Structure 1
Amino acid sequence: MSLRAGDPAEIGGYPLEARLGSGGMGTVFLARTGSGRPVAIKLIHPQFAADDEFRIRFRQEVAAARRVSGAFTAAVVDAAPEAEQPWMATTYIQGPTLSRRIATKGPLSGAELRRLAIGLAEALRDIHRVGVVHRDLKPSNVVLSPEGPRVIDFGISRAVDQQTLTVTGRVIGTPPFMSPEQLQAPREVGPRSDVFSLGTLLAYAATGQGPFDAESPYIVAYQVVHGEPSLEDVPVALRTVVESCLAKEPNRRPSADELLVLLRDLPADLGQTDAWGVDAGRTRDVITQHHLATPATPAPATPSTPAPETPTTTPTTTPAGRDTESADTPLSRRPRRRWRPVLVAAVAVTVAAIGGGVAALTAGGFGGNSGGGKGNSLAAPGAALPDGFEPWRKTVPGGRPDIPDELRCVVRGDALFCGGGSVVATRIRASDGSRMWTAKSPGVPANGMHLVGATDDTVLGYRFAAQDAPQDPRSEVVAIDANNGRELWSVPSGAQSTAVTGRTQDAVVVGSDVVTVDASNSRFEARDAHSGQVAWTSPFPAGTQCAPVPVGPQLVAMCAKDAEVDAFAVRHPTLYPVDRASGALGRPITVNGPAVPMGVANGRLVLLQVRLGGTESDRYNGVARVDTASQKVTYSRLAKTYTGTPGMADSTVYVSGQTGLVTAFDPATGRKKWSRQTGVEGASGPVAGADALYFSSATGRVVALSPDDGKPLWTTNPQADGLTGELDMSPRVTLAGRAVIVAAAKNTLFAFDAQKPPKLG
């Protein structure tokens, strides 16, 4: 394809010869090195050059491509990710993409199909050996060169030991070739997700159709997660291998190394599609020998990619009473993993579930760190440090060491209660970080599920069942004695809050009670937090599913019709005031949705409105305020549509963007108060202290901003290896007087004096 008017004559000193193609993000040119070697140069479109988030992603693409450059990929020759218009040059690979080959000549077969399968397995083996997960393996990213297939385009790949912008609440990929975990729980995407994609790609190469093809990308995504693949036209010898790649659970798929063994054992011509052929039986025996015979001992997962079905050792129950640092409290009842609902769109897929806060309302906002009694998430002017305080840093071990999750905390005097990930709850001294007791959860947690809350004598957290205990509830709310760590009671918990409210807040603490949703998602149940005695139950309105939403000391139910919840598209939520004494629901209040509860301002519930049909790049576009007494709802439109993690403190709404931009809004008018660029990417917050707002990322990097104008007061260095660019996470900062306590990735906690923050350097 010839160069066009307006195309540059050269890029980075490389003279351009032709256009190879153009896509949504950039144009690819054919160029020459000084010695005449052909290279392909990807030049990013100008409109993305000014996008800080995109620059971060492009830098990651360059780093990943350099890391995997080898015989099965396009080696990086040169790159300038910081240029005014970023670009990257790779070796030019002669040949059509697999998608073009299928479109022009039809499906592959016989030895040609076998060579493709083996070549792609070899490519994955090399990619995974250097610690990279491609995450977008599809026909247009496979080039059929004379030397064999090459895998290209690492634009959304992830290095296991690097940070990524593709996180909980946001998934990017191509639905027909994505794995179930990529659609449901993006933080769990690991090398075997690529194996699933390879399985779909091989089915496509053999038949010209994907194994989950449907008329709509929404249906495709549903089929990927829940449906059986259509493989009847795949040659039977290959079909059995493909079936193993398409197992719903990652650890039941072969690794790239195991897959290569299976493919090399296939007959040279792959046989026919006769289900009773000799080749089919031989292949099935090979698979049983190499992989399916040992499902209980899969290849170890990388640190950032826990395998949900890996059996765990049943914890040993210790006697009731005080548990010390050396004897954490394993809780005997263990629930099963809960999957979150998903909403998908073509190419750029956005998960509707927001991994928001789980603690009760504090200081006017959700995702705070208090549930009942006196909350300490606001540091009053002149607040003192806990007695004997010294800066500290600790890691809390949980029931699943393979899950590097995060905690959330609440302060009661000198006691810090935290929970999340594979920790139901733990008690820590705020003064020095020493642990008093820990109650562990043996199962794989749902993303964004942390501590429920606390009263003066009780801590409430979530427990998830181990995979080897299917008889246990999938998830439970557990009450623990705050003094000695003894389990008081537990109750199975429902799991529809995220679909209804956009917040992972399945249970809330209101006063001395805890309100949960029953396991069948049909009613609210209120209990005394310490005794577990049921105060009342309240059924949901017919044909709806509901989630509890605290409004200061009061409670409302946010409900949506079953059809909207099932379709993952809640557009007409209804609020019902809940009588705290009886659980009776008041008159319904209809709200224009989707809408996410944020907190309370001037006695009114504040909700952020989500743009219908929007993506994560254009999400929040309005504010709704609900007066539950008068049943009046007022709306204000934001000047533009914002993306990022929302939060609320001191009657102000904040949105912190993936690249560190924090914007403050007046919820009464929707007008912007101020906007400030910070150096903390993917921060959650705010938490309001004395003359400061605190935002923090999963790396433990903290920024303090002035509430008046957003002026940065100070910023700290990272404290842990965590994901940047995360969306919709609950605040990670807790205040104990003047002490700033921060939760970071891998169950890391650290604390310092707000007046003496750690110095950069």
Structure 2
Amino acid sequence: MAGATRGTTSVEIGGYRLIALLGAGGMGRVQLARSASGRPVAVKTVHAHLAAEPEFRERFRRETAAARAVTGPYTAAVLDADPDAEQPWLVTEFCAGPVLTAAVAAHGALSAADLAALGASLAEALAAVHAAGLVHRDLKPSNVVVTRDGPKVLDFGIAKSATDDSLTATDEAIGSPGFIAPEQLARAADDARPGPPADVFALGALLALAATGRAPFGADGAARVLYRTLHEPPDLDGLPDPALHAFLTRCLTRAPEDRPTVGEVLEWCGARTRGGPWWEQGAVAELIRRHEDDVARLLRQGRGEAGDGPDASAPEASVPDASAPDTDTSSTSGSGSGPTGTTAPAPDTAPHADGVPPTNAPHPTAPPPTEAPPTTPLPPPEDGRPTRRRLLLWGGGALAAAAGTTGVVVAARDGGREGGARDGSRERRQGAVARGRVLWSRDVGDLRSGSGLLRRGDDLYLLGTSSLTCVEARSNTVRWVYSEEQLQSADRHRDTVYVLQDDLFEPELHALDAATGRKVWTSPHPRLNPKRRITTPTGLDADSSALEGNQGQFLLAGDVVCLLTYAPYDTMWARRGAWGRHWRAYGYDARTREPLWFHEGAAAGVIGVDQAGGRIAVAASANPGSPSADDYARRDPLVVLRAADGKVERTVRGGARYPRAHPGAKGTACYMSRTAIRAVDLATGRVRWTRRVESASAVTALPVRGMVVAATSEGLSGYAAASSGGPRWTRADVDQLTAADGSLLTADGLVFVSGPEPGTTGEAGWGLHALDARTGRTVWAVRSDAIASVEAASATPDIVHLYADETVVAITPPDRP
């Protein structure tokens, strides 16, 4: 097979390593794969009988080239393709979340403002498609995936255009009943190709479905739906706004020339959006997170055998409640896929026109990779949960399973580079960059994503769910291993290491001797909590509100250890399951480990904590929502406790958004939402300045050398902290690395990122860069294969530790021995 190579444990197509079969359709197969830099992508291969047609290859070549020019925040891009291979293939971006109908079902009926936000996003996506000279012609619910960055339009014209003439008869129409425009159905009589107005028609049908829960032309069989499309007005009863009714009536008119243009749709919808995006809130945000977790799990399982190649029987992947672009390119007016409704099959269960059912077979557990034992053996922690953070660093989110067939599209900010010059083409720049070096590396098994690395003094702590390992940070010598199940987090105070364990009913805090790792103490809740004295040890017979929350976190405030317990309230589902449980705080003497005080807060979950100046600040919220939303926690309080006795010193109304701003705190802190970064005066809680940005994903926790550094869709940028946040520099060639708290990785005035080899425009994941926060220039760099898939990172002036692919790598600057 041209373009495919086989190793002992993997198969590659065009340099992309295949991991699992995700689905098949009329055009070919879709397989999950990894690029040379480690990013997950979807590789679509064409069926042999289509590849044998010269006309198909020519159209495939032309339309793929055009589709690669489609760019925009609401489209999923084509990254790479080879139409001349023996079996033609193309690679697409990864997309993020459930299909539109599933997202709307989780959210409930959309308001007029929410519908306007959806319409504006879809119109901007179609504008990008049309600007590339393409027409989508099959915009439908299963081709719109709702991600944490907003709706994404998939399959914009490649498959449909490629089969337009060569793979369909002249009396067949490409599209889906209920969303196909009348002029597409009448093509047999009028040989003109449908233009952009056909996409406006489909957009109007999507908005009507999202607003009313019903398809505007029904869902009771393809023949009846198509008849109504040609001869009857749309059913728009129940729309939340008369102006919206008139607007959708224009979009769904049978005459293409009477419909608004895509530009007019964008202008009309954009002027009516209000508040934060609905996909960043409540049940929809939780549904997106579940999809992200499912994909991360699939990628981890894919570390074993990749399968037998694009035409072999590779194991199929399963992602619950997922949806993705169709791989079928010959969907006609007889397609069985229909909109969600009371009489139509749900999008994840509907049969497909080519007879291929949805991909829902369980994915087999991949065999563990062979590991070389480290110098001092480490017990490999077994973390059964997926590593979602790596997926977020790739800029994507979740696997989609289509209403018929499944596929994957990968969303990466630097998608053009992914499918571009992988030959390492270089562009020399002036000035040499000092090189760091890899000090050591160690195979460690699974660690916790984000919080798996903790540096304290000379020791590095490696945290998995079933063990905490203490390693000397420079020499790579294991000092001790503490084995226990369900470990969550760790920290050290003087000669004691504290470890939080997730128990069945409540979290527990374990105190370990820092020199030996021996457990010397466990947090005694009942001695402090009066409500616990009247309940059974497990709390099974207690009133629900008296139960301990099953979530926990702790922090060290001087010589006081504070353990917080709470139930999650971050989604509507979690709120219902919280049973009104309150958050609670337990204070212990960090020197003697004696219980000091107990405080019970409101019925809410803990969303943020901080300590400074002898105070402990607890941000609590019972309102589901996403931390990236602009209005997140705007109305929730910040409770400030005295660390010495646990007494409430102050309750800051609306202060939960900025938990570090409280009495006792000083200086400036940096906060981020999806659309802005803010500098907050910690002593007063006032916002010093706000800088609007596009799709912010991480920011420095505190100013670094007078600069606030943020990662956005444009790259990494530095803003002057002392002024009004004026921009000082931007680097579009590097990608963020984050610490355990989600902030950008920094140390000693440097910001650590991944990027290409200095002086080149080559592979983005070449290695580690240390940037001067004041100028954004690379101070030193070092090649590291781990940089493309970092799951946890820790930085100090002398060593940077990175965890990726079950290996910890220690990197030292060039001036360190």
Please report the TM-score for the alignment, with normalisation by the length of structure 2. 0.46
Work out which structure has the larger RCO, using CA pairs closer than 8 Å and 6 or more positions apart in sequence. 2
